[in-house]
């Protein structure tokens, strides 16, 4: 196993193999097999691009050869920051076939996150789009390259411009792929890194192996009843774990179906695509589901023929029962709630669950070998049906973050259970209901913000003495971010502070939605900042304003 990663104990690994969960299949190899079986069928659709399985397979080999020509080899880390363009799938498989390890950044990340990821993983290359959503990723990549020693290459999907040191992805595709560059990675070893939503000052990296990930992919594809007739719409950024593997584009390619990529999740983009491509299943976060429901129920998309759509997956944040109940009557499809995490465990409501279960629970685990514990603050199991902290361990849940021994000692129990930070209740049928969260994270409609990370950025401002970032309720996103700040001397203007944060190169979704200057923070019994009290204060303040408006 890669240095800095925590393997499963030999006994557990043997059990997962014996149970048939870990099959020895690798990410690069499964596509090869599918390309044989489904050669002429459509694999990927994005804008005007349409690739068959044979096209995708050939492109992955051609690009792998070109990347090898740059000196990228097995074990090298490559930070991949691409929006939903066809190339993101090509790049992923090219890297898997080289045995190089993609580190998947989100399209919304900016210089601060990308630079950290490149430096922390010792990446040799960074793959970016040219311009996406009005942001020039090439310029950002140039800055990152200047700052990170060892980052040798910037590869651009699209127009590389004429600056030095950037390579256009299109120029890398070799005319004649060289099979000698292709590696045969160990299925038990790390295949790539996902990012944790995080609770700490710096994002954590999640190492996923071929064996563990493909188990979750295959099992998810089964649960969602995917097959060669499946047409999946990738509406969310498909490098995120949900649209990548739950069952996501990998599950669809594993089943021989077609993946249609949407450039953004808005109803004006996605609902016409569902109609035109006869999409059968897609995945969104709750705020997007709300927009789609409103657009179809008497809104701008009311005329769409959505009869092909069988399943709408909603996850990443809690989907309220009221909204959940509208999905079947408005969209004419089955809702599937998905409660998952990039660290592993994924829960689904099953397609044939009674409507009440689908609407009021966040599903049950993928696997009979997912171990679930619901415990109190002292790690003791709570009584059945009571609310407690969710701990989990299983065949596709990591045993440790990459190169983070101190954090791992807190984030995992001594016997290897991952502390999810989620507060849940189990139903008698084994379903989970998410009741809250005990981690210092804000869930902004599925986009996760680690309080400590933002606090550190705010603290870098010379006019700030202390900062505490908490969630505040929001009807649309579920939560937004409120930064409580104690000024040093005269308080900086809010706009100046927010401009300062943007200037530090932070992803836009991490910029606080609200800033409150206060003379001091409420304290807990032991003198720590009471975030609970701050959350309560901002919730009360918002309620008071709503009353008077
Ligand atoms: C997914 O993955 P991450 O890593 O971005 O975030 C995981 C966290 C969970 O620990 C939980 O706090 C929250 O997101 N969450 C939900 C939820 N789904 C995720 N909270 C309430 N209800 C839900 N349905 O978000 C993710 C990964 C794979 C599949 C689906 C979502």
Asked whether 337 lines ligand 1 (CB < 6 A), one says yes
**How many helical (H) and strand (E) elements, i.e. helices and strands, does the chain have?**
18, 27
pLDDT in tens, 256-269: 999 999 999 999 99
Provide Rg for the chain, Cα atoms: 23
Minimum CA distance residue for ligand 1 atom 24: 339
Q: What is the rounded CA–CA span in Å between residue 261 and residue 235?
A: 7
* Architecture in CATH for domain 441-548: 2-Layer Sandwich (3.30)
Asked whether 342 lines ligand 1 (CB < 6 A), one says yes
Minimum CA distance residue for ligand 1 atom 2: 341
- Average pLDDT of the chain is 97
Q: What is the rounded CA–CA span in Å between residue 236 and residue 242?
A: 8
Q: Is the pLDDT of residue 48 over 80?
A: yes
pLDDT in tens, 462-507: 999 999 999 999 999 999 999 999 999 999 999 999 999 999 999 9
Positive or negative torsion for Cα 239, 243, 247, 251: negative
Q: Is the pLDDT of residue 313 over 90?
A: yes
Q: What is the rounded CA–CA span in Å between residue 502 and residue 183?
A: 41
What's the rounded mean pLDDT across residues 105-127?
98
What's the rounded mean pLDDT across residues 264-289?
98
- CA–centroid distance, 441 to ligand 1, in Å, is 12
What SS3 class is residue 536? helix
Q: Where would I find the H helices in 173-226? A: 210-223
Q: Is the pLDDT of residue 18 over 90?
A: yes
Report CA dihedral (50, 56, 58, 60) to the nearest 10 degrees: 130
Domain with CATH 3.40.50.980 in the chain: 53-184
Minimum CA distance residue for ligand 1 atom 25: 316
Which of 340, 365, 389, 441 to mutate to test ligand 1, by most ligand atoms within 8 A of the CB atom? 340
Domain with CATH 3.40.50.12780 in the chain: 212-437
Nearest atom (ligand 1) to Cα of 196: 4
Reported as a pLDDT band with limits 50, 70 and 90, residue 200 is confident
The CATH class of the 212-437 domain is alpha beta
Angle at 434 between CA 433 and CA 438, to 5 degrees: 145
The CATH fold of domain 53-184:
Rossmann fold (3.40.50)
Nearest atom (ligand 1) to Cα of 195: 4
Please list, residue by residue across 383-402, b when 16 or more beta carbons sit within 10 angstroms of its beta carbon and e when fewer do: eeeeebbbbbbbbbbbbbbb
What angle, rounded to 10 degrees, do the helices at 267-277 and 286-296 form? 70
Nearest atom (ligand 1) to Cα of 283: 30
DSSP per-residue string spanning 316-353: SS---HHHHHHHHHHH-SEEEEEEEETTEEEEE--TTS
What was the pLDDT predicted at 165?
81
Q: Is the pLDDT of residue 164 over 80?
A: no
Q: Is the pLDDT of residue 549 over 90?
A: no
Nearest atom (ligand 1) to Cα of 194: 4
What's the rounded mean pLDDT across residues 538-546?
94
Domain with CATH 3.30.300.30 in the chain: 441-548
Lowest-confidence segment of 206-215, 285-294, 495-504, 523-532 by average pLDDT: 523-532
Nearest atom (ligand 1) to Cα of 246: 29
pLDDT in tens, 324-334: 999 999 999 99
Which of 283, 341, 417 to mutate to test ligand 1, by most ligand atoms within 8 A of the CB atom? 341
Question: Closest Cα to residue 290, out of 269, 265, 311, 310?
Answer: 265
Which of 283, 315, 433 to mutate to test ligand 1, by most ligand atoms within 8 A of the CB atom? 315
């Amino acid at each position: 196993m890669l240095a800095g990663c925590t393997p499963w104990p030999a006994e557990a690994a043997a059990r997962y193999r014996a149970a048939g969960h870990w099959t020895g299949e690798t990410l690069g190899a499964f596509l090869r097999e599918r390309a044989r079986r489904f050669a002429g069928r459509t694999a990927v659709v994005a804008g005007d691009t349409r690739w068959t399985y044979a096209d995708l397979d050939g492109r992955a080999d051609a690009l792998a050869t070109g990347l090898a020509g740059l000196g990228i080899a097995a074990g090298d880390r490559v930070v991949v920051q691409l929006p939903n363009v066809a190339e993101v799938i090509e790049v992923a498989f090219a890297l898997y076939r080289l045995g190089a390890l993609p580190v998947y950044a989100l399209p919304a990340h900016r210089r601060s996150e990308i630079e950290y990821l490149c430096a922390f993983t010792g990446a040799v290359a960074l793959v970016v789009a040219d311009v996406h959503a009005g942001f020039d990723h090439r310029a950002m990549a140039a800055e990152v390259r200047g700052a990170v020693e060892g980052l040798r290459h910037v590869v651009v999907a699209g127009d590389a411009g004429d600056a030095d040191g950037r390579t256009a992805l299109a120029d890398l595709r070799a005319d004649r792929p060289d099979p000698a560059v292709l590696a045969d990675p160990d299925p038990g070893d790390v295949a790539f890194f996902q990012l944790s939503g995080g609770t700490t000052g710096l994002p954590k990296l999640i190492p996923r192996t071929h064996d563990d990930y493909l188990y979750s992919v295959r099992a998810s594809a089964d649960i969602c009843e995917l097959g060669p007739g499946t047409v999946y719409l990738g509406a969310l950024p498909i490098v995120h774990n949900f649209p990548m593997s739950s069952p996501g584009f990998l599950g669809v390619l594993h089943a021989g179906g077609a993946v249609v990529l949407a450039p953004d999740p808005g109803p004006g983009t996605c609902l016409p695509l569902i109609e035109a491509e006869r999409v059968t299943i897609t995945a969104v976060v709750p705020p997007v589901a709300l927009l789609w429901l409103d657009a179809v129920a008497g809104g701008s998309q009311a005329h769409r023929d959505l009869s092909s759509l069988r399943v709408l997956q909603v996850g990443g944040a809690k989907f309220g029962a009221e909204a959940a109940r509208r999905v079947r009557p408005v969209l004419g499809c089955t809702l599937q709630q998905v409660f998952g995490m990039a660290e592993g465990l994924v829960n689904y409501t099953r397609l044939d669950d009674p409507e009440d279960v689908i609407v009021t629970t966040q599903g049950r685990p993928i696997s009979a070998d997912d171990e679930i514990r619901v415990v109190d603050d002292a790690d003791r199991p709570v009584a059945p049906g009571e609310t407690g902290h969710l701990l989990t361990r299983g065949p596709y849940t990591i045993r440790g973050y990459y190169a983070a021994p101190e954090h791992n000692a807190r984030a995992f129990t001594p016997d290897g259970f991952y502390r999810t930070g989620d507060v849940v209740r189990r139903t008698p049928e084994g379903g989970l209901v998410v009741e809250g969260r005990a981690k210092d994270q804000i869930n902004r409609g599925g986009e996760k913000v680690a309080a400590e990370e933002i606090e550190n950025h705010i603290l870098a401002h010379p006019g700030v003495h202390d900062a505490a970032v908490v969630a505040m309720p929001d009807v649309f996103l579920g939560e937004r971010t409120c930064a409580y700040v104690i000024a040093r001397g005269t308080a900086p203007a809010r706009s100046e502070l927010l401009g300062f944060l943007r200037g530090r190169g932070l992803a836009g979704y991490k910029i606080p939605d609200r800033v409150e200057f206060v003379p001091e923070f409420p304290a807990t019994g032991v003198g720590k900042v009471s975030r609970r009290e701050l959350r309560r204060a901002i919730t009360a303040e918002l309620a008071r304003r709503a009353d008077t408006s």
